[in-house]
Structure 1
Amino acid sequence: MQALALRLSSGAFIPRVRWRLRTPMFVLAWALFNAVAYHVPLYLFGIEHLDVASWGAGVTLLTLFVLVAAMTALFTGVVSLIVPRLVKPLCMVMAIANAIALYFVVTYGVVLDETMMGNAFNTNTAEAAGLFHPWMLVYAFCLGIVPCWVLLQVEVTRTPFFKRLVMPIAVGVFTLCWAYGASQSWLWIDKHAKHLGGMVLPWSYVVNAGRYLAGKAAPHERKLLPAAHFVSNEKKVVFLVIGESARAQNFSLYGYGRQTNPAVAKAGATVFRKARSCATYTTASLECILAHQEPGARAMWEPLTSYLQRHGVDVIWRTNNAGEPAMDVRHFERLGDLKAGCTGEACDYDEGLLRGIEARIAASDQQRILVVFHLEGSHGPAYNVRYPPRFNVFTPVCASVQLHQCSSDELINAYDNTIVYTDFVVGQAIDVLKGLQGYSTSLIYVSDHGESLGEYNLYLHGTPWTIAPDVQKEIPLIVWDSSAPHSNANTTLTVEGAFSHANVFHSVMGAFGMRSDIFEPELDLFSAAALRPAMAPSPVAGGNSSPTPASAGGPSPTRQR
């Protein structure tokens, strides 16, 4: 103990200072390191979108470097003027945060804009765990912990205020002069500003996180919609099934080469082509789905669910997802709430949301019932865990959250299996509606947004709308109605047109025979007007209305590698 006390008193366990730098030099060194170590994706984006053989491309790339270094130097320099002791701890925090942010930028090609930061804040624990991979620790150690250790070896010596003031002024003047001299670069930078801004660390996630939180903190008063009345007294049940990350391109009902929709294809549904989401991330899309008008003013008004509940409709919301807006409904149930006493693999997946729904409908004392199923669907990156093993139809599958390390075939196989499973769940929901006695029944299936599977080196979703590829915007929109002539036939009706999330609100109103000043009948998917444009029935071979995986001994979609 005496020896240990002597070592402590002598400072043996205190990191030895190896370098001494004045504050301005420390700030400049950190700014240059930050611009080099954490911005390779930024420069690669520039190389990819510039004519690298030209002189102008070199100037533009240097301009990006100067801007990144200058932003860091100016901010850190201002901090050094106010609280000099905070400079080194601030740089250490930046190193850790930048390393983690860089992992996601490199791995999934994400752009850290306001919407992406909103996605981050709305990610629950299970989703966050699904994003973890050991490579994240490698990034955190090599680009976070190691730089922090180096920073600990540096002593930032006291520097007079005037000398600390000179540095940010000099950097500002130099940057302005450079910007003037490299003015030919600004047109290209302005054109790609949205993408570039989402890759500048740490400012992309710091500023955009602040913007998101400020917007969320601002009061959003929900105004009541105009009073409504019903033109029909029939007993009615409507299912609204909201998918997750399902893109139309991978639905066989939309022309995809693989059979990914065997259940719905045989259920007598109507498929609406050329449907688009209003956003590329869940929270905004859910707002749109439940809104009666264009997204710009959606937050001012109560959502569909609250509107129906206020007018005597029994609203039941069942979810295996997250991101729902504030709503006034009596019955909000998560999958975990429905699992009590449940046994079998179905309890842990989307089909568990259907558990006991017939009994719940029978117990309702209302003649109009809306049931919303918010599926986990095709939520990435761990597509292979979104469905029970018996739906492992296309093999081999990508079993890693490092999607770029999987082959394209493995990634698409895993994703397509999620679509087959979602199709099964929707088919089961339609079967429930077909079995209800004494009710007129309808179903709407719509996805919140699409998904990128490596196209343009992008993965997942949430890319800013202006630069997002069509696969993140084009979604499936399918309805089934018990009164439709083909509702019990092995026939799918295809409707060409232009459809979107805007159709959902008015279609649910139309299904319930609900009318008010805000009702727009031309958006009602169940109306004859909506079905009129270019209808084409698509007969389907007979068979069971649910997919039968090979393990069950029945026919299955062709396995592809």
Structure 2
Amino acid sequence: MSSVVRYRTRVDAAGELVRRLQPFLARRPEITVERLAIIASGFFTVFCNVAFFRAVAATGTLSGWSGAMTGVALAVMIAALNVVLLCLLLNRWSAKPVLTVLLLVTAVATHFMGQYTVYLDPDMLRNILHTDGKESGELISFGVLPPLLWLGVVPSLMVWRVKLRARPPMRAVAVRIAWVAVASVVAVGAALSSFQNISALMRNHHEVRHLITPGNYLVSLGRVVLDDQADRNRPRMPVGTNAHVVGRAPGTKPRLLVLVVGETVRAQNWGLNGYARQTTPQLHDIDPVNFPHVTSCGSATEVSVPCMFSPYGRAHYDEERIKHSESLLHVLEHAGIRTLWRDNQTGCKGVCEGLAYQSFEHAQDPQSCDAEGCLDEVMLDGLAEEVAQRPGDMVVVLHQLGNHGPSYYKRYPARLRRFVPACGTAELGRCSREEIVNAYDNAVMYTDEFLARTIRSLAARTDRDTALIYVSDHGESLGENGLYLHGVPYAIAPDTQTRVPMVMWLSSGFAADRGVDLDCMKRESSAPASHDNLFHSVLGLMQVSTPEYDPTLDLFGRCVPHA
């Protein structure tokens, strides 16, 4: 048979197949909105809640016959609650576009929950919404395409093929109310059928509810939107309005304190803490005061940064109070100490509201920046000139991009690619744990270089007494127990996300003028510390008197005479 004949035969066969499929392709099944909601609920429950059931299984709740029945009850309860949710969201005109959005977003959420064990609680949603385009772009990689296609695009196309049956308005309302009632009864019945196990699960592991999709991100998004609306016109409560500097002898040099807020550096990989690798060689040579046992206030920037700059801290944590109160920087300003926030991140999270602020997110420095962002050293450019414009005591905050993941390989220059092979992609699942740690440690070494460079520039100044305090905002999971990145609810966050490095350096002039015994500081530094100490330690170091100052939380207090 010639090739032409074979080709024509295949074309004819393909044409015949298309003709036979035409009736099927042309057929558009007609269903009610309620039935569509049931089908979509079943789809979400079975295909998009794998992370939830995996987390529940890890607690031991699903072990044995009783556990199997609990698993069935949970599946029925989640499906029924999804029916209630969708029946409230969908009508004949909104069903297709709304379901399409839900399917696409849920597909992406399912990918990230499975890939990184992300809990979509309000704090995580707030982090996502406040992340800039460059950072979020790093998370969108080819790895998200398969789940987006099979869990989002294909089901959406099927949704658009069906015809939705119309009902008279009053009958439609009555039927919808009936379905919501029935689904609610089913959800309650499923919960009661295994009440002891389910109640124990939600009591002891309540964070798993943030893995139930799509309810997790919808409820969290609603809370974030409502909170933001309430916060929009709410003034900040003043803090330390009567603050003033005390105990300074006339004629002493003005002071310059640089406070470096790190990003995503964990204590376990900090060379000065005894890590197997020397990831802080330059700081090792400088020999600052190192605090090896420091706990963060949160496991994400949105929580930790406002908390560490507040007088309340983790010990008296109150999110609303912290968000709506002035910060350490405002107290310093009240005392006559000028402040400046320089940012290579996504903002100061309200800490510097109304104060001097400079963003380097879109800086154009060819030495430090490219199209994807800037290395942290860009914040040192022009800093001396900014300080010169502000006579008197001054506190400068440098907010790093640091080790922000998952693109650790972008957080350091090529010259610091010491640990190899290093993961060179944001899709951490494509790299071995060794490669991930190598890239992460290279980025830690860049923070070491950045801090050492800053300290050297401060030490060279003769016009001011200088000091530097560095502390990271939170840590990072690098694959331990299947966890990656950060942002796990604080109650269950591992030490890798809540233990952070902290170092302090004082010039000899600053230490002498303030009376700080650095040898004493090094002896005392092995004691546990936390973000709660920052507010009071800075006030103590800068000799600011205010009722909010707590000397028991001042890390310099034990090593300053008559503190």
Q: TM-score, normalised by structure 2?
A: 0.85
Of 87, 98, 105, which aligns to 1:97? Answer: 105
* Separation in 1, partners of 2:219, 2:560: 44
Going from structure 1 to structure 2, the CA distance change for 1:304 and 1:165 (only over 3 Å counts) comes to closer
Report matched runs for 1:446-461 at 5 Å.
446-461=471-486
Counterpart residue number, 1:115? 123
Counterpart residue number, 1:498? 528
1:286 aligns with 2:294: no
Please identify, of 156-165 and 87-96, the stretch whose mean Cα deviation from structure 2 is larger.
156-165
Report matched runs for 1:401-550 at 5 Å.
401-483=426-508, 484=511, 495-529=525-559
Of 197, 211, 222, which aligns to 2:236? Answer: 222
Of 157, 163, 175, which aligns to 2:165? Answer: 157
Counterpart residue number, 1:232? 248
* Separation in 1, partners of 2:284, 2:263: 20
* Separation in 2, partners of 1:291, 1:307: 10
1:345 offset after TM fit, Å? 6.5
Counterpart residue number, 2:14? none
Report sequence identity in percent.
29
Q: Give the secondary-structure state (helix, strand or coil) at the position aligned to 2:211.
A: coil
1:492 offset after TM fit, Å? 6.7
1:293 offset after TM fit, Å? 2.4
Of 2, 8, 21, which aligns to 2:31? Answer: 21
Q: Give the secondary-structure state (helix, strand or coil) at the position aligned to 1:266.
A: helix
The one-letter amino acid of 1:284's match is V
**CA offsets 1:75-132 (integer angstroms, 9 cap, x no match):** 223445xx43323332222111111111111111101011110111110011011111
Counterpart residue number, 1:303? 327
1:50 aligns with 2:64: no
1:506 offset after TM fit, Å? 1.7
Of 391, 397, 419, which aligns to 1:372? Answer: 397
Structure 2: which 5+ runs fail to align? 1-21
The one-letter amino acid of 1:459's match is Y
The one-letter amino acid of 2:394's match is I
Report matched runs for 1:190-229 at 5 Å.
190-191=202-203, 193-219=205-231, 220-226=234-240, 227-229=242-244
More helix by share: 2
Q: Give the secondary-structure state (helix, strand or coil) at the position aligned to 1:371.
A: strand
Of 216, 239, 245, which aligns to 2:264? Answer: 245
1:66 aligns with 2:76: yes
* Separation in 2, partners of 1:68, 1:243: 40
* Separation in 2, partners of 1:443, 1:430: 7
**CA offsets 1:504-550 (integer angstroms, 9 cap, x no match):** 12222122222122222232223334899xxxxxxxxxxxxxxxxxx
Please identify, of 514-523 and 104-113, the stretch whose mean Cα deviation from structure 2 is larger.
514-523
* Separation in 2, partners of 1:64, 1:472: 30
* Separation in 2, partners of 1:523, 1:431: 28
* Separation in 1, partners of 2:116, 2:561: 39
Please identify, of 133-142 and 204-213, the stretch whose mean Cα deviation from structure 2 is larger.
133-142
1:137 offset after TM fit, Å? 2.3
Counterpart residue number, 1:544? none
Going from structure 1 to structure 2, the CA distance change for 1:169 and 1:424 (only over 3 Å counts) comes to same
Of 324, 342, 348, which aligns to 1:324? Answer: 348
The one-letter amino acid of 2:149's match is F
For the Cα contact (< 8 Å) 2:474–2:497, is it kept in 1? yes
The one-letter amino acid of 1:349's match is L
* Separation in 1, partners of 2:115, 2:335: 47
Counterpart residue number, 1:558? none
* Separation in 2, partners of 1:94, 1:500: 40
Q: Give the secondary-structure state (helix, strand or coil) at the position aligned to 1:111.
A: coil
Going from structure 1 to structure 2, the CA distance change for 1:442 and 1:170 (only over 3 Å counts) comes to same
* Separation in 2, partners of 1:232, 1:168: 70
Counterpart residue number, 1:257? 276
**CA offsets 1:413-454 (integer angstroms, 9 cap, x no match):** 011111111011111111111101032211100000111111
* Separation in 2, partners of 1:24, 1:300: 43
For the Cα contact (< 8 Å) 2:342–2:358, is it kept in 1? yes
The one-letter amino acid of 1:274's match is H
* Separation in 2, partners of 1:345, 1:156: 53
For the Cα contact (< 8 Å) 1:23–1:157, is it kept in 2? yes
1:344 offset after TM fit, Å? 5.9
* Separation in 1, partners of 2:194, 2:556: 58
Counterpart residue number, 2:187? 175
Q: Give the secondary-structure state (helix, strand or coil) at the position aligned to 2:298.
A: coil
* Separation in 2, partners of 1:404, 1:333: 36
* Separation in 1, partners of 2:427, 2:503: 32
For the Cα contact (< 8 Å) 1:277–1:285, is it kept in 2? yes
For the Cα contact (< 8 Å) 1:339–1:352, is it kept in 2? no
Counterpart residue number, 1:352? 378
Counterpart residue number, 1:315? 339
For the Cα contact (< 8 Å) 2:84–2:184, is it kept in 1? yes
For the Cα contact (< 8 Å) 1:225–1:302, is it kept in 2? yes
For the Cα contact (< 8 Å) 1:315–1:370, is it kept in 2? yes
**CA offsets 1:162-201 (integer angstroms, 9 cap, x no match):** 4444333322223332322222322343135533211111
For these two proteins, the number of residue pairs brought into alignment is: 515
**CA offsets 1:304-360 (integer angstroms, 9 cap, x no match):** 2222223322212111111413325653222257655x5467993111211232333
For the Cα contact (< 8 Å) 1:480–1:487, is it kept in 2? no
Counterpart residue number, 1:131? 139
For the Cα contact (< 8 Å) 1:378–1:419, is it kept in 2? yes
The one-letter amino acid of 1:316's match is L
**CA offsets 1:473-528 (integer angstroms, 9 cap, x no match):** 11111111123599999x97671222111211222212222212222223222333
Going from structure 1 to structure 2, the CA distance change for 1:84 and 1:430 (only over 3 Å counts) comes to same
1:17 offset after TM fit, Å? 4.0
Aligned alpha-carbon RMSD (Å): 2.7
* Separation in 2, partners of 1:130, 1:225: 38
